[in-house]
Structure 1
Amino acid sequence: MSVEKIVITNAIKMYIGILLFFLLMKLVGLESVTELRMLNFLFVFWAVNAAIKKNIFENGNSIYFQNLFIGFFTALTALIFLVISLVFYLFYIDPSFLRILESSTLWGESLTPPLIAFAIFIEGIASSMICTFIVMQYWKNKKVDTTATV
């Protein structure tokens, strides 16, 4: 499977997972619980791990930096989708969610959708890097046996 397909497939899985998680939080009335929003790390770990694992076992590629970049670009692609979705949500679906974000201790007051998008993007890049480096600690010594006969 091509690297681009691995990245896009797993980024879409991560995007849908996080989107459904936030939708579930909204449906049960927990969208104002900031701590629950931190669980999106689980989706990042899951997708990054799946992308790296697929590249190692399907493509036979166990080169550290290539897998590191695959993991990071998987998370970055999903992050771009999520930021676009959040801006769309804040402008067109639920502008009152801005007040919920302002009332949390993490953000402060006087928020705008572009400011939130920028902050989420920066936070997402940092968490993507951290998650990818953590996952790569597991996969860095995994080698594919290319001498095995089929």
Structure 2
Amino acid sequence: MKLPKELINGFIIFIGIGFYFLLMELLGLADIYLLRLFNVLFVFYGTYRTLKSNFIEGKAVLVTNAVSALFTALTGIFLSIIGLIAYSYIKGGDAYVGSLSKTFLFGGEPSVMTYSISLLFEGIVSAVIVTFMLMLYWDTRYSSDKHGAES
């Protein structure tokens, strides 16, 4: 049984984000919020791979490709959040989350779940934005009336 490319590329996003997070942790940079903004590059990469594969396969319906791209990005985001929750509890739970970025969305001491839910919302928003940006990029490659294609 062959897994759908959306799941494979979502898993690639998860691996990329996970490796990047562990590298930042190893280098002692996990508390620097701005470095975490680079996570979006992994979302771009995995989603781009899905759209490129769809284009090569001749799938030219814009809406279908948008759904495929969004599913890829959300798969990577959900897997990453699940991984973060597991890692946080392994490293000490709420105490570990408190050691992460002090400037992140909260005052006080966030719990693992509060932290993870806020990252989930942030991830969903970034997945939607990445999907829209890549669909604008790929839009000129799909045939439609506005690009001079015959109906």
RMSD: 1.7
CA contact (8 A) 1:15 1:78 kept: yes
- Identity among equivalent positions (%) equals 30
**TM-score computed with the length of structure 2 as normaliser:** 0.86
Q: Deviations over 1:8-38 (max 9, x none)?
A: 1101111101100011101111111110001
Tell me which residue corresponds to 2:89: 91
SS for the counterpart of 1:35 is: helix
The one-letter code of the counterpart of 1:137 is: L
| TM-score, normalization by structure 1 | 0.87
CA distance in 2, matches of 1:87, 1:13: 19
Question: What is the alpha-carbon distance in structure 1 between the residues aligned to residue 104 and residue 68 of structure 2?
Answer: 34
Secondary structure of the equivalent of 2:4? helix
Deviates more, 1:94-103 or 1:67-76: 94-103
CA distance in 2, matches of 1:46, 1:66: 19
CA contact (8 A) 2:30 2:101 kept: no
How far apart are residue 110 of structure 1 and its match? 2.7
Quick one: distance in 2 between partners of 1:28 and 1:143? 43
Show the counterpart of 2:75.
Answer: 77
| Aligned residues of 2:85 and 2:113 also touching (Cα < 8 A) | yes
Q: Secondary structure at the match of 1:109?
A: coil
Please give the per-residue CA displacement for 1:23-71, whole angstroms capped at 9, x wherever unaligned.
11011111111100010011111111111110111x2101111111111
Shift of 1:143: 3.8
Tell me the distance in 2 between the aligned counterparts of 1:66 and 1:136: 11
CA distance in 1, matches of 2:82, 2:104: 24
Greater shift after overlay, 116-125 or 32-41? 116-125
Report matched runs for 1:1-150 at 5 Å: 5-57=4-56, 59-95=57-93, 96-101=95-100, 103-143=102-142
Paired AA for residue 59 in structure 2: N
- Secondary structure of the corresponding residue to residue 103 of structure 1: coil
**1:141 partner amino acid:** T
- Paired AA for residue 21 in structure 1: Y
Which SS does the other structure have where 1:85 is aligned? helix
CA contact (8 A) 2:30 2:100 kept: no
In the alignment of these two chains, the number of paired residues is 141
**Cα offset, 1:105, TM superposition:** 4.5
Look up the equivalent residue of 1:81 and give its one-letter code: L
